[in-house]
Chain A
Amino acid sequence: MAKKNKEIKETKQQVHKKVLKRRKPNRSIWGDFFVYLFLVLVALAMVFPLVFAVNSALKPLDELFMFPPKLFAQNPTLDNFSDLFVTMGKSWVTFSRYAFNTVFITVVGTAGHLIICSMGAFVLAKYDFPGGKTFFNVVVVALMFNGYVTAIPNYLIINALGWVDTYWAIIVPAFAAPIGLFLMKQFMEGLPMSLIEAAQIDGASLWKIFITIVMPNVKPAWLTLIIFSVQSLWNNRAATFIYSEEKKTLVYALQQIQSGGIARTGQAAAVTVVVMIVPIITFILSESQTLETMASSGLKE
């Protein structure tokens, strides 16, 4: 089945390519030229701060304070990074503990998010039951909720549950992030119903259908959910819910170093790079799958 799907996709792509070539008549050369010029200029402007950040991290101290500044490091070194590790090594709570906290929160939060969202999305996408549509509409409205806005009542609720100062205060709310359910449901809508019906006739239970048929067919969506979840959990400073130093996340610890003033300028630059590199790398690794999922992200009225 999967193989057949792939074949269909490949032929589709070939046809697409041919058509693309024939689509040229509506394009003028000058139009193309200006479009590309514009794109290149904007792309350079977009990437400039990022390049600058990376280069700052590679500059030795004397170059960091040099004026006028050079965009590219003259004598690139990894000193800032090794300094950072020395500082982290001497901190009161060890580096490995911070790293463990972040990895634990990210992995458990993402796994739970993936499973719970897929289960909900599956029945919402494939079965028509009373209340399902209404529930989904509420989730769409919830896409607009800003973390700060719900933070205060969230704190009260987590306090009532007795979860303040535990990992669960970060992990469990992340399970229910609306963007995950939304994307998963939209992607599952694209699965042919005949697949599921065939299995139903064979007497498979809903569980079995879910695990053996639906889940293997929505792998691109898994990756997308993982990416979004990792992005938000990795950048989570966990400062509102967690007070014990030994439960705080890596990003929190790194930002503490970053706020250490002039003497830490080099390390601060290294921190910026460490913090930004993880979400960007995960995105690059899964770009094509993410885009495949986002193709079904549209909101029908």
Chain B
Amino acid sequence: MTEYIRKYFELRRHNLQVALKKAKKSKMCYFFLAPYAILFFMFYILPVGTSIFFSFTYYNILEPPRFVGLQNYISLILQDDIFLTGVKNTFMIAVITGPLGYILSFLFAWLINELPRYLRAIAVVVFYAPSIAGNVFMIFSIFFRGDAYGYVNAFLMNAGIIDAPILWLVDPKYMLPICMIVILWMSLGTGFLSFVAGLQGVDSSQFEAGYMDGVKNRWQELWYITLPNMKPMLLFGAVMAITQAFGVCDVTMALCGYPSTDYAARTVVTHLFDYGYSRFEMGYASAIATLLFLVMILCKKAVQGLLRRVGT
């Protein structure tokens, strides 16, 4: 046993020495990386670190942070009903718009791929534009206005489907579905671009080989040839979709108000926003942020596992 441990440490020491020697040789590399690494550490790693640290304290900016152990997490999960509403809503939005947006991104990228070149260029702009168009989604608040002059209400009333206007953005029953529609409309983003580009790069001789080997229709082609070739892009797209799905708050806050009726459109990030910016309970807000990180990273791992099975 001691023999093993000794050998293990010897190996580690040897590896470390090799690494150090290598590091000394590539001094210039570190020099090149340094500007980015420093800024990245300051504005991306350090915030996560401080977030985790503050999540164990009571901190309201004015007083110095006071250590409270797991208290924040305990009250989050056991006492804060509104947080649980937020979790439920975020979960609903993430489960529905995340995978659906992801699948739609791929589907449209794949269908667009066979269009002639110029048509394809136009189609890419059409599908991608909503996600970069700033706050154009506010136009949906006109469509779904609650009185009889809201376009959707007017249309449904004229068609005889409803006889009184529906308060689309105030009634808890309709808020989430409407937000989901808007989020889906905006979901063809960076991941979609990546898919479009990746599809164009798939080696076309593989399709020929597939044809020879008896691939019969476009669906088989998709599953056996296209998808396996697209794995790296699919993973990248998944990362982007997860970020988007769990980060929802702009759309819900702008359309349904902040706070919304019965907190029906509250998401985890809205809750974080509430505690961080309205109540200045930074410790509590940090606990929310930390939980969100954990869930996002777990989600990425899960998707990675799923993608390993594609095309087998």
Q: Which A residues are within 8 Å of any B CB, using their own CB?
A: 15-16, 19-20, 22-23, 25-28, 31, 35, 38-39, 42-43, 46-47, 49-50, 52-53, 56, 67-69, 116-117, 119-120, 122-124, 127, 129-132, 135, 138-154, 156-157, 172-173, 175-176, 178-179, 181, 206, 210, 228, 231, 235, 240, 251, 255, 272, 275-276, 279-280, 283-284, 287-288, 290-295, 297-301
In the A-B complex, list the 3 residue pairs whose CB atoms are closest, starting with the nearest: A298-B232, A120-B36, A153-B47
Q: Are B207 and A19 in contact (CB under 8 A)?
A: yes
Q: Which residues of B contact A290 (CB under 8 A)?
A: 193
Pick the interface stretch among B68-76, B127-135, B166-174: B127-135
Q: Are A26 and B44 in contact (CB under 8 A)?
A: no
Pick the interface stretch among B2-10, B77-85, B95-103, B285-293: B285-293
Does B272 interact with chain A (Cβ within 8 Å)? Answer: yes
Q: Are A152 and B125 in contact (CB under 8 A)?
A: no
Q: What 8 additional pairs, Cβ within 8 angstroms, besides A156-B50, A284-B125? A: A43-B127, A49-B130, A130-B19, A153-B51, A157-B46, A280-B132, A297-B236, A300-B232
Q: Which B residues are within 8 Å of any A CB, using their own CB?
A: 19-20, 22-23, 26, 28-30, 32-33, 35-37, 39-40, 42-51, 54, 108, 111-112, 114-115, 121, 123-130, 132-140, 143, 149, 151, 154, 185, 188, 190, 193-194, 196-198, 200-201, 204-205, 207-208, 211, 215-218, 221, 230-233, 235-236, 239-240, 242-243, 246-247, 249, 269, 272-273, 276-277, 282, 285-286, 289, 292-293, 296-297, 300, 304, 308
Given contacts A52-B139, A127-B29, A294-B198, contact A120 B50 (CB under 8 A): no
Given contacts A116-B36, A127-B29, contact A295 B200 (CB under 8 A): yes
Q: List 24 A-B contacts (CB under 8 A).
A: A20-B204, A26-B216, A39-B115, A49-B137, A50-B129, A50-B136, A117-B36, A120-B32, A129-B29, A135-B37, A142-B45, A144-B296, A146-B247, A148-B247, A149-B292, A153-B50, A173-B43, A179-B190, A276-B133, A291-B197, A295-B200, A297-B194, A298-B230, A298-B233
Q: Are B125 and A23 in contact (CB under 8 A)?
A: no
| Docked pose: A145 CA to B244 CA in angstroms | 10
Q: Which residues of B contact A275 (CB under 8 A)?
A: 134-136
Chain A residue at minimum C-beta to C-beta distance from B104: A42
Q: Which of A49, A143, A144, A301 contacts B304 (CB 8 A)?
A: A301
Given contacts A119-B35, A157-B42, A272-B139, contact A149 B272 (CB under 8 A): yes
Q: How far is the CB of B84 from chain A (nearest CB, A)?
A: 19
Q: How far is the CB of B224 from chain A (nearest CB, A)?
A: 12
Q: Which residues of A contact B236 (CB under 8 A)?
A: 297-299
Q: Are B23 and A129 in contact (CB under 8 A)?
A: yes
Q: Which of A23, A46, A130, A131 contacts B207 (CB 8 A)?
A: A23
Q: Which residues of A contact B221 (CB under 8 A)?
A: 26
Q: Are B132 and A50 in contact (CB under 8 A)?
A: no
Q: Are B204 and A16 in contact (CB under 8 A)?
A: yes
| Docked pose: A151 CA to B185 CA in angstroms | 26
Q: Are B51 and A299 in contact (CB under 8 A)?
A: no
Q: Are B36 and A148 in contact (CB under 8 A)?
A: no
Q: Which residues of B contact A297 (CB under 8 A)?
A: 194, 197-198, 232-233, 236
Chain B residue at minimum C-beta to C-beta distance from A69: B151
Chain B residue at minimum C-beta to C-beta distance from A290: B193
| Docked pose: A157 CA to B49 CA in angstroms | 12
Q: How far is the CB of A160 from chain B (nearest CB, A)?
A: 10
Q: Which residues of B contact A280 (CB under 8 A)?
A: 125, 129, 132-133
Q: How far is the CB of B184 from chain A (nearest CB, A)?
A: 10
Q: Which of B39, B207, B239 contacts A176 (CB 8 A)?
A: B39
Given contacts A43-B127, A119-B33, A276-B133, contact A140 B239 (CB under 8 A): yes
Q: Which residues of A contact B240 (CB under 8 A)?
A: 143
Q: Which residues of A contact B190 (CB under 8 A)?
A: 179, 228, 294
> Could you say which of B124, B151, B197, B221 has the most chain A C-beta atoms within 10 Å of its C-beta?
B197
Chain A residue at minimum C-beta to C-beta distance from B53: A153
Q: Which of A27, A127, A135 contacts B218 (CB 8 A)?
A: A27
Q: Which of B28, B205, B242 contacts A144 (CB 8 A)?
A: B242
Q: Are A255 and B135 in contact (CB under 8 A)?
A: yes
Q: Which of A116, A145, A279, A283 contacts B44 (CB 8 A)?
A: A145
